[in-house]
Amino acid sequence: MRTGTDIDRNIADVSALIREAAKGGAQFVATPETTALMELGAKRLFANIVVQEEDRALTAFQSLASELGIHLLIGSLAIKVASDKAANRSFLLSPEGEITARYDKIHMFDVDLGNGEAYRESKNYRAGETSVLADLPGLGRKLGMTVCYDLRFPHLYRQLAQGGAGYLTVPSAFTKPTGEAHWHVLLRARAIETGCFVFAPAQGGTHDNGRETFGHSLIIDPWGDILAEAGTDPCVILAEIDPAKIEDARGRIPSLTHDRAIIASDAPTDV
């Protein structure tokens, strides 16, 4: 996607892409982080967001999931949780349009890239505290929900995989410089480390507010192979998912069962 500052236009744009994906045979569809609104300024952000029960984008996507009969992951919406705080919240919707799971982004993107580009997500957003595993009927294993900057915290993904996840979602709005340097290698590493499929829908291009995101949405299998990749322009990518690949990868390298307690020491061990 290339989400802008007009919520209704964004809803229309992503709805058209979701319909295209469903027409192409997709039974599970995922959208990027900040699906309905890309806004950094606090004043403009809080003038446009509402509590979950009043969010018209969420209502529209619930109706669309029900109409198309698909599992729909809305990568994230900015949901007002206090007068000066939002949650960066991801939603999993059932083919009946019901909210079956929701996840609030845990790790806040508070960084200075050293090129004049700096972000303080924690200024406007309240961090989540709970990891989320959701059911995906018919796929044998659960879905682990994460968002963007969470990608840099591998212990979260290991916990999800050891808790039963075979699929991981990483809806994102990566910056161009961090995406060029780290996007592919981090996502492939999370897939390899966990033996999970990784679905990473991404924002791409120059947005209304001047922000530039990396794009390159990816679908990655449990061996770390890229099954589908987008560029920077809005589009749909599709892949066939074979759940047997999860057990195959984990059977070959069962690292999820090989954890060892590590004793920290400041002194060298005896030789």
Residue from 33, 80, 121, 142 carrying the catalytic annotation:
33
Residue from 80, 105, 142, 176 carrying the catalytic annotation:
105
Residue from 39, 80, 148, 196 carrying the catalytic annotation:
148
137 C-beta neighbours (distance < 10 Å), count: 9
Has 245 been annotated as catalytic? no
Query: Which residues, other chains included, contact 139 with Cβ-Cβ below 8 Å and sequence gap of 6+?
Result: 166, 167, 241, 243
Has 33 been annotated as catalytic? yes
**Residue pointed to by tokens 């209304």:** 208
Check if the beta carbon of residue 71 is closer than 8 Å to that of residue 29: yes
DSSP bridge partners of 194: none
CA distances from 10 to 85, 97, 191 (A): 22, 19, 30
- Running DSSP on this structure, what letter comes out for residue 98? -
Has 148 been annotated as catalytic? yes
Burial zone of 30 (CB within 10 Å; 0-12 exposed, 13-18 middle, 19+ buried):
buried
Among 112, 62, 67, CA closest to 92: 62
| Helix (H) or strand (E) segment spanning residue 72 | strand 71-82
Grouping H, G, I as helix, E, B as strand and the rest as coil, residue 193 is helix
Among 208, 211, 197, CA closest to 118: 211
CA distance 80 to 58: 13
Positions annotated as catalytic residues are 33, 105, 148
